[in-house]
Amino acid sequence: MPGSMKTPDTKAGGARGLVRVLEDLDAVTAAGRERFLAAAERAIRDHGVFRVALAGGSTPRKLYAALVGAPIDWSKVLFFFGDERCVPPAHADSNYRMARETLLSKVAIPNTNVHRIYAETDDEQAAAEEYEEELERVWGLIHHEMPRFDLVLLGMGADGHTASLFPGTKALEETKRRVVANWVEKLGAWRITLTAPVINAAREVVFLVAGADKAGVLKEVLQGPRDPARLPSQLVDPSDGELVWLVDRAAAAELAPR
């Protein structure tokens, strides 16, 4: 049944955070829209700007579309991406293209407020370094400081990956870099991704998970033993921020009530 549950607040267990079980994807979308607008209002009030990292994939499409027309001062919103496929920005697989089609092309946001990952280059390392430099510039970072996003939106794959942190890949071990190029053997492709330390420096992280195909892995991630090498979504554990899982009933079907 829809409702909320707290996952075990212990490191020994699975991922931590508040899990909200919602009826369906539309309800997940509505809850996501609420959290986005609340996070934006808080950030703009507190420091004059809202810096948000968008998730890729398909689940967030409805949320981005639902933000069109929202009561927000887009000139104070800076969009970033949690990860990107190494394809041109007009490619069907591009996370930037998805965000642009659903939201960015439909709101009055200055182009300079949209910080896309230039992943179409054939030098993936350079693309990661360039994005890392962009984060350093926007936040004025020094040494190994992590940028603190006001909100990071994430999805989760049926294999437990999030952003482009895939099971058994090198990026999972990164503790210093903010952005890396990650070779994903199962895809036979490079991805550019924020690292776990960046995600965990955020003020708020919201997962959007929907569909029966996620039920098994969601149970493992939230209520199973800690095994982030196999279940990278378990790496997400903000050190000084909120973690919220917005999941639909189909994805929550195997969760034991807490």
The residues of the shown chain that bind ligand 6PG, judged by CB under 6 A, are 55-59, 82-83, 95, 155-157, 161-164
Nearer to ligand 6PG, 24 or 73 (CB): 24
- Cα 93 from Cα 85, distance rounded (Å): 7
List, as one string, the DSSP characters of 98-146: HHHHHTGGGS---GGGB----TTSS-HHHHHHHHHHHHHHHHT--TTPP
* Shortest Å distance, C-beta 12 to ligand 6PG: 26
Nearer to ligand 6PG, 157 or 224 (CB): 157
Nearer to ligand 6PG, 42 or 89 (CB): 89
* Shortest Å distance, C-beta 110 to ligand 6PG: 24
Nearer to ligand 6PG, 49 or 65 (CB): 65
* Shortest Å distance, C-beta 6 to ligand 6PG: 24
- Cα 100 from Cα 181, distance rounded (Å): 23
* Shortest Å distance, C-beta 75 to ligand 6PG: 26
- Cα 10 from Cα 6, distance rounded (Å): 11
- Cα 57 from Cα 39, distance rounded (Å): 22
Q: Are strands 189-194 and 83-85 parallel, antiparallel or unpaired?
A: antiparallel
Nearer to ligand 6PG, 24 or 145 (CB): 24
CA angle 165, 26, 244 (to 5 degrees): 45
Query: CB count, 10 Å around CB of 65?
Result: 15
- Cα 77 from Cα 70, distance rounded (Å): 12
Nearer to ligand 6PG, 146 or 192 (CB): 192
* Shortest Å distance, C-beta 242 to ligand 6PG: 19
* Shortest Å distance, C-beta 150 to ligand 6PG: 19
Query: Do residues 172 and 200 make contact, with C-beta atoms less than 8 angstroms apart?
Result: no
* Shortest Å distance, C-beta 83 to ligand 6PG: 5
- Cα 243 from Cα 255, distance rounded (Å): 18
Nearer to ligand 6PG, 223 or 233 (CB): 233
Query: Do residues 218 and 209 make contact, with C-beta atoms less than 8 angstroms apart?
Result: yes
